[in-house]
Each structure stands twice: as C-alpha cells, then as structure tokens.
C-alpha cells in the first residue's frame, strides 16, 4: 500500500542514524501523500543558524516594547489563519479539526501570557545592598542565550513546540524550529506567518525540516536546545548537548497516573479520567495512563469509565472523537503493552485489542482492569488510547507507587476532602485535582517533569526564565567605611565582623526561645 511506503521513511524517526533527502507527509484521514519537503542537511542548518545569529542582536535591541509590537502582529496573523492551521494539523496528525483548533487557541493563549508578563518576569530587578556594602547599588538583568533550537514532536505539532518558540522569542532569542518529520507543515506554516507579521526581522524565527539527523545538526550550532520527544531521543540529545556544554530543556515522556480516593465524586472522576486517557487517541505526554483506584470504589468507577469509553471511537469521520495513530512504529508498542497486561491476568472491559480491524492505524480504546502494578501498561509509557486500572488498598499505596516511578510528569487526584493533601505528596511536575490535564490549559502554570520525564520547564514565568541567564551587576557608588574588596581592609576587620555576627545570631536564638 502506498500509504505504508510513504510513511516508512518516518517510522524510523528517533533513530539517530536515520537519513533521507526528502520528508514525505501524509493526509492521515485518507492515507494519501500530502506534501514533500527537502530535508535540511548540515549546510542548510548551518546557514539558518547564521541568519539567526545576525537577527538575534537586532531582535534583542528592540527591547520589551519593540518585541511586543511584533509578537502582537504575529498573534493577529496566527488568529486570522487559525482555520487553515487547524486544517493542516488535522491533515498531518489525524486529530479532529476541533482538536486542531484547540492547539491554535493554546498558542494564542501563550502569546497573550508572554505579552502580559515578560517584562515583569525578565525586567531589571533591584537587589538591596547588604549592610556591610552600603556603597553598592545592585540589580539583576536577564540576557537571552542568543540562538535557541527547538525540536518538536508530532503529537501536539503546534501547541507543544509553539509555546516554547513563543517563550524563547519573548525572552529575546532568535529561534529555529525543527518540527517532527510527521508534521513539518505546521512548522513551515508558523515560519511563513512570522515572515508576514515581522518583515523587518524575518530571521528571528525560522523552521528547518528533516529527520533526527537535521535535529542533531541543529543541536551542534545553537546556544540552547529545547527538545520535546521520547526518552530515548532525549538521552541522545542530552549526550550531544553535554559534549558542547549546551544547556538543554528536555520535555520527555510520561506515564501519568491518577489517584481515586474513596470520597471521590465518581461520576465526575469517570468523565474526566476517560477524557484524560483517551483524548488525542492517548497520544499525549500527559495522557492518563494508569489509574490507581481504591478497592472500596473500584468496581463502581470501572463501570462508569467503561460506559464513557465505550462511546469513544477512533476514525476520521465527523463523529469520531479520536483519530488514527500517525506513527506506525507506535502501534506494536501499544499492542505489546495490552498483550502483556492480559497475559498477566488483566481483563479488557472495553476494547478488543487483538482485533486490528481493516486499517490498524485506527487503534480503538482499551480499558484494562485488574492490571498487575508491574505490567508494562502500568509502568511504561504506552502512548495510545489505553488506560490501565490498578486496584489499590488505599491512597497511601497509590502515592507510594507513583513516587517510585522513574517518570514524573503530570498526574490527577480525585477526592472530595483530601485532594490537595494527596496532590502535594506526589513527586511530579503537575497535578490536577478533581480534573484531568487542566494544568496544561493554564498558560501561567509551569509545565515539565522530573526523572525520565526530563528537566527544565516550559509555560508560565518559569518558561520565560528557561530561555535567559541572569546577569548580576553591582556598582560601586561611593566611599565605604570598611573596604572589603581591597587590601586596604583593616587588620582584624573580619574577626570583629565574625564575632559580631555570632553575637547577633545568639541574641536572635535567645529571643526566639523566650
């Protein structure tokens, strides 16, 4: 079938050895070829980095106000072209048009967030002088790295790399995006819209298309890398960056868990958990993959989740809530995780995983119960429309299992009275209480993980701070009674200062004890 031939070039994506001169994209609804792009080699990537370097200085020199004018113009351009962009996401990725529109709205939200907040977060901050240095005036400024390389995945082809590009630009960097070879058109569209909106500095944001090899060329030339993708590729990127001491933001995979306590509102929990697990065909780094449900409410909740999930069908029709899995290499992984759970005694209350149907790109939802906690579906990223439900004694067991995971990206907790307490004990980057994935819809909240889920943050104030380094400045403004930074320091000055500090701390302790 031509579909598989065309896509076979993309299935090997993530393998650092993959090379190819051409990236061929498919319309995921029809399987027909959509477009062809020349894959950028080292020369093209090097040229893009040079263009970015030339633009980086003038972009920074514009200051917050000058950059804001241009970011506003870009926001208008994206909003006007939003329907085209959503259609392109639908075609390249296969998700519904409505989900494509949600990605457009998400980047518009991130643009608004940076426009409203960048100066507050990155503007000059005065620092009070210490008592011993009254003659110094000090402050912190934030300098951009220069050129940032953003490497993106295909599952949220606009929302995921788009938010990072926006933060890096707002922080004063020039940016080059290398989108996934499954969804390069979205990246190309973004760069074109930038050139229309910001004709005086087109080089401040560019897109280069290609496979992993193109991404590797990019990591070698830039001042900071922001990578989003699998744990396996993340390790390779981190190793490349380590060799050059290039800082890297790593947004990697997850195995997000949900805790359901005895006092949860089960109707609401079932609706949110089903959506959190199956939206976007479960192809989200923060998709809920494993539900730890306390024994007392387990059976009732399973019934409710099964009722919701039974109404979700994968297809490309107007009524289909989820689309295909556009990465063929992912399909055997999903099947393997489901088969492993079934072999270990789990049951599928929704889904007939062995039945691939006529087109196996459409993976139908599977809800697994009585999943042993050490099954792959419960411990590893399945990245598909599958939820593994694990019965637990109590919420303590759920917390212990989540905190023992090598991943630590998002999570959810359902409990009427103890939701916040449970949430605060989870060692993860993000938690929604009595909701699913809600943290991802607030542009002000930082997004990222720990352990195998990566490090660094996008979104929120932290997402802006990710793309700058602090420059601390202190200015000698006048004479000082006790010089501390020349050899004119009086003999015994430090001994007297140390004794005074000790007496002061002793007095403070004494006051606290009384």
14: left (phi over 0), alpha (psi -120 to 50) or beta: left
Provide the b/e sequence for 332-358 (b: ≥16 CB within 10 Å): ebbbebbebbbeeebebbbbebeeeee
Residue with smaller CB distance to ligand NAD, 13 or 77: 13
Q: Is 100 in the site for ligand NAD (CB under 6 A)?
A: no
Q: State the nearest-atom distance from the C-beta of 212 to ligand NAD, in Å.
A: 3
Determine whether 241 is an active site residue: no
- Rounded distance between C-alpha atoms, residue 120 and residue 296, angstroms: 48
CB 367 within 8 A of CB 289: no
Which of positions 261-290 make contact with ligand NAD (CB under 6 A)?
Answer: 285
In 3-state terms, what secondary structure has residue 450?
coil
- Which stretches does DSSP call E strand in 222-301? 224-228, 248-251, 256-260, 288-294
Closest among 218, 220, 216 to 233, alpha carbons compared: 216
* 176: three-class secondary structure by DSSP: strand
Rounded to an integer, what distance in angstroms lies between the CA atom of residue 102 and that of residue 160? 12
In this structure, the strands spanning 468-476 and 136-144 are: antiparallel
Other Cβ atoms closer than 10 A to 393: 10
Residues 3-32 that bind ligand NAD (CB under 6 A): 13-14, 16
What is the C-alpha separation between 390 and 378, in angstroms, rounded? 8
User: Binding of ligand NAD at residue 414 (CB under 6 A)?
Assistant: no
Distance of CA 420 to the CA centre of its chain: 23
Choosing from 92, 289, 381, 435, the residue that interacts with ligand NAD (CB under 6 A) is 381
> Which residue, judged by CB position, is nearest to ligand NAD in the bound state?
215
Q: Which of 92, 251, 289, 381 is catalytic?
A: 251
Asked if 37 touches ligand NAD (CB under 6 A), the answer is no
- Using CB under 6 A, which of 28, 230, 405, 415 touches ligand NAD? 230
Helix runs in 425-471, H state only: 460-465
Does residue 156 interact with ligand NAD by CB under 6 A?
yes
Residue 152 sits in the site that holds ligand NAD (CB under 6 A): yes
Of 191 and 201, nearer to ligand NAD (C-beta) is 191
Cα–Cα distance, 172 to 130 (Å, whole number): 31
**Residue 251 binding ligand NAD, by CB under 6 A:** yes
Residue pointed to by tokens 């403070």: 508
Q: How far is the CB of 278 from ligand NAD (least distance, A)?
A: 16
Collapse the DSSP code of 444 into the 3-class scheme (helix H, G, I; strand E, B; otherwise coil) and give the result: coil
Pick 410 or 419: Cβ nearer ligand NAD: 410
421/425 Cα distance (integer angstroms): 7
**Stretches 64-72, 245-253, 302-310, 469-477: which one binds ligand NAD (CB under 6 A)?**
245-253
And the tokens for 411? Answer: 């999570």
Q: Is 380 in the site for ligand NAD (CB under 6 A)?
A: no
- What are the E-state strand segments in 333-374? 347-350, 366-369
In whole angstroms, how close is the CB of 404 to ligand NAD at the nearest point? 20
* For ligand NAD, the closer CB: 145 or 383: 383
Which is nearer to ligand NAD, 370 or 462 (by Cβ)? 462
Under rule CB under 6 A, residue 323 binds ligand NAD: no
| Residue 466 and residue 459 in contact, taking contact as beta carbons nearer than 8 Å | no
Among 9, 206, 233, 246, binds ligand NAD (CB under 6 A): 233
Number of residues interacting with ligand NAD: please give it, by CB under 6 A.
34
At its nearest, how many Å lie between ligand NAD and the CB of residue 94?
14
Query: 303 an active-site residue?
Result: no
Give CA–CA dist 383/89, Å, rounded.
19
471, containing H or E segment:
strand 468-476
Residue linked to tokens 């901050």: 125
CB of 207 to ligand NAD, least distance (A): 11
Can residue 459 be called a binding residue for ligand NAD (CB under 6 A)?
A: no
Examine residue 207 and tell whether it contacts ligand NAD (CB under 6 A).
Answer: no
Task: Check binding of 93 to ligand NAD (CB under 6 A).
Answer: no
Q: Indicate which single residue of 252, 301, 350, 376 sits in contact with ligand NAD (rule: CB under 6 A).
A: 252
Contact 351, 365 (CB under 8 A): yes
Shortest reach from residue 90's CB to ligand NAD, in Å: 18
327/468 with CB nearer ligand NAD: 327
Nearer Cβ to ligand NAD (252/260): 252
Separation CA 106–CA 116 (nearest Å)? 15
Nearer to ligand NAD among residue 350 and residue 430 (C-beta): 430
Query: Of these residues, 103, 285, 289, 466, which one is catalytic?
Result: 285
Instruction: Report the interface residues with ligand NAD, using CB under 6 A.
Output: 13-14, 16, 151-156, 160, 178, 180-181, 211-212, 215-216, 219, 228-230, 233, 236-237, 251-254, 285, 327, 381, 383, 409, 454
Query: Active-site positions?
Result: 251, 285
């Amino acid at each position: 079938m031509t579909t598989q031939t065309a896509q076979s070039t993309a299935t090997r994506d993530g393998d650092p050895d993959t090379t190819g001169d051409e990236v061929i994209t498919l319309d995921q609804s029809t399987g027909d070829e959509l477009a062809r792009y020349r894959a950028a080699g080292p020369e093209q990537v090097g040229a893009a980095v040079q263009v970015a370097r030339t633009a980086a200085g003038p972009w920074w020199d514009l200051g917050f106000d000058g950059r804001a004018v241009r970011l506003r113009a870009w926001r208008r351009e994206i909003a006007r072209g939003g329907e085209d962009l959503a259609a392109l996401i639908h075609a390249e990725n296969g998700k519904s048009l409505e989900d494509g529109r949600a990605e457009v709205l998400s980047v518009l939200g991130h643009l608004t967030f940076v426009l409203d907040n960048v100066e507050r977060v990155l503007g000059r901050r005065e620092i009070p002088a210490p008592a011993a240095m009254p003659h110094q005036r000090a402050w912190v400024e934030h300098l951009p790295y220069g050129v940032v390389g953003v490497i993106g995945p295909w599952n949220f082809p606009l929302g995921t790399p788009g938010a990072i590009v926006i933060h890096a630009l707002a922080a004063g960097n020039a940016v080059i995006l290398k989108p996934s070879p499954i969804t390069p058109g979205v990246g190309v569209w973004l760069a074109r819209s930038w050139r229309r909106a910001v004709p005086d500095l087109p080089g401040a944001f560019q897109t280069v298309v290609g496979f992993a090899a193109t991404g590797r060329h990019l990591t070698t030339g830039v001042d900071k890398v922001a990578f989003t993708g699998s744990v396996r590729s993340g390790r390779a990127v981190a190793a490349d960056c380590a060799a050059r001491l290039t800082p890297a933001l790593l947004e990697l995979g997850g195995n997000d868990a949900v805790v359901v306590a005895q006092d949860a509102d089960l109707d609401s929990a079932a609706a949110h958990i089903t959506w959190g697990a199956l939206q976007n065909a479960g192809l989200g780094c923060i998709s809920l993959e494993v539900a730890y449900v306390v024994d007392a409410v387990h059976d009732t909740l399973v019934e409710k989740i099964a009722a919701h999930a039974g109404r979700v069908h994968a297809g490309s029709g107007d009524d289909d809530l989820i689309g295909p899995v556009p990465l063929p290499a992912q399909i055997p992984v999903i099947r393997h995780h489901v088969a492993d759970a079934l072999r270990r005694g789990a049951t599928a209350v929704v889904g007939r995983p062995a039945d691939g149907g006529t087109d196996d790109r459409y993976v139908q939802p599977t809800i697994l119960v009585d999943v042993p906690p050490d099954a792959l579906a419960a411990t590893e990223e399945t990245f598909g429309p599958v939820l593994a439900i694990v019965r637990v004694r109590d919420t303590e067991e759920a917390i212990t299992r989540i905190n023992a995971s090598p991943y630590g990206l998002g999570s959810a907790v359902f409990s009427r009275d103890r939701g916040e307490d449970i949430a605060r004990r989870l060692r993860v980057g993000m938690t929604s209480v009595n909701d699913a994935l809600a943290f991802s819809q607030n542009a002000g909240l930082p997004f990222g993980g720990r352990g195998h889920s990566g490090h660094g943050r996008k979104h929120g104030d932290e997402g802006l701070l990710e793309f700058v380094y602090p420059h601390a400045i202190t200015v000698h403004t006048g004479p000082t009674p006790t010089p501390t930074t020349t050899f004119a320091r009086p003999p015994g000055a430090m001994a007297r200062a140390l004794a005074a500090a000790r007496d002061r701390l002793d007095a403070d302790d004494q006051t606290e004890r009384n």
